[in-house]
Each structure stands twice: as structure tokens, then as C-alpha cells.
Amino acid sequence: MKTRDLKALLDAAYERHAQPHFSADDPIQLPRAFAQRHDAEVIGFLTATIAWGQRKTIITNAWKLARLMDEAPHAFVMNASPTELRRLEGFVHRTFNSTDLLHFVKGLRHVYTTYGGLEDAFLEEGRPGPMDQAIHRFKQRFFEPRHQQRTQKHVADPVKGSNAKRINMYLRWMVRPNDRGVDLGLWTRITPADLMVPLDVHTGRVGRELGLLKRTQDDWKAVEELTAALRRFDPKDPVKYDIALFGIGVKKEG
């Protein structure tokens, strides 16, 4: 397919799927439900962390998390007493359990108090730099408080080759503009041009079918290859086409 035709296909899919109804069956509905920036970014981070498996189960468990935190996730993270934290015991989503959740609360509190916030924890001298380094930096800072080693697996590290799908998805939610009723546009020091594609089985398959991705492994090198291909169509906002690839994939499966 010619580059011009491929861009037209992706632009049409983006226009079709980047609509408010997108969030009705998508985990992004969680952060979109919170009016305050800090609440949205905290529940968004926790939701993205458990975003694997069936979407219905992800959304159900994410709302359970929100209720456990009195639907005030930022205040809970910053102020919960040891007694209040005990209400998190027993939470589980696949391999993410209450031990992991308790550290996530501790890690979030740490990045707010030590680095100034979630966005800040990705930055060095006010800029993210290459996104693999920014995510690696965030992970190091997030796990500075004492924790169990098992919990580290729930934050991906592109420097070790991971495609970091869930963190890239979270960054898309926070960074891309809220002009279509999908993403939130809460962060400004990381720009849409900095983002990398949240690569999963579906976007990888569609990317390969369209000739945008040659690499067979769904690793960070594949993320770099697919994002570079999409930058040809919109260098300022390549990851908007994540929504297009997802929509094309759903249509093929339907």
C-alpha cells in the first residue's frame, strides 16, 4: 500500500474511533471519571498497571480500587493511615496482589513528596529525553522505598527490552490532548511527539499486516520501529494512530 493510501486509512480509522464512546468499554474511563488532575493521574496509573486480561475484569477491578480509596485516590495515597491501608488487603488482579498494591501506594506517595509528582518522576532537568530512559528513570525512583522484589515486575523497563505497553498506554492517556473525549491532556512537559506506541498483540498484528512493522518480537525495538513508521504520518502526534490500529484490529476480529 502506498504511503498516501496508508495515511488515509489510518486517518479515517482515527476519526472513526477517537470519539467519546471509545471510553465506554475502555479502562481510560477510570481517569476520565475524576475531575481533579492528581486523582485522575493516580487512578490512571493504577488502572494501567492492572490493564491485562479481559477488559471487563480490568474495569471492574479498577473501580474496586477507586472505591477502596474512597473515590479520592490522591488523598488516599498521600494521607492513608496504616489502619486505612489495611482495607487494601485481599485485593488481587491476576498476579498483582495486595502486597504489590501497598507498595504502589508507598511508591506513589514517594514520587509526589520527593519528585513533585508523577509527571516529574519521568523527567530529568524538566524534560523526558528518550522515552525508554524516561520510563527507566521513573521505575528507579518509584522503587526507591523499601519493597519486595516481586513487585518490580509490575513496572516494565524498556532498557531491559520490555515493550512497556501499559506505561506507554498510561503516558498516552496523560499526555495526548483532550480534544476528542478520549485522552486527558493533563501533562505538558512530556509532549505527544515524545510518546511511543503501546504495543500489544493486536496493534502489533495490524501494524505487520499494514507493513508498518517488520520485527517479529513484540519488544522495545518493535515499539521503536512502529512508532518511527507512524511518525511519517504525524511527527507531532504519532501515537494517535494507536487508536486507529486498535479500531482496525477490532473491526477485523468482529
What's the mean pLDDT in 102-116?
98
What's the mean pLDDT in 10-38?
94
- Asked if 106 contacts 89 with a C-beta cutoff of 8 angstroms, the reply is no
| pLDDT at residue number 254 | 41
What's the mean pLDDT in 54-83?
97
| Residue 102 predicted with pLDDT over 60 | yes
Query: What's the rounded Cα separation, in Å, for the pair 75 and 71?
Result: 9
Q: Treating both helix axes as pointing N-terminal to C-terminal, what angle do 201-209 and 220-231 enclose, rounded to 10 degrees?
A: 50
Give the strand pairing for 92-93 and 96-97.
antiparallel
What's the mean pLDDT in 25-53?
97
C-alpha cell at 107: 511508591
| Residue 86 predicted with pLDDT over 90 | yes
User: CB-side exposure of 118: number of CA atoms within 13 Å?
Assistant: 25
- Asked if 219 contacts 158 with a C-beta cutoff of 8 angstroms, the reply is no
| pLDDT at residue number 197 | 98
254: Cα separation from own chain's centroid: 25
| Residue 217 predicted with pLDDT over 70 | yes
Query: What's the rounded Cα separation, in Å, for the pair 213 and 209?
Result: 8
What integer best gives the mean pLDDT of the chain? 95
What's the mean pLDDT in 35-40?
98
88: Cα separation from own chain's centroid: 22
Helix, strand, or coil (residue 127): strand
| pLDDT at residue number 251 | 61
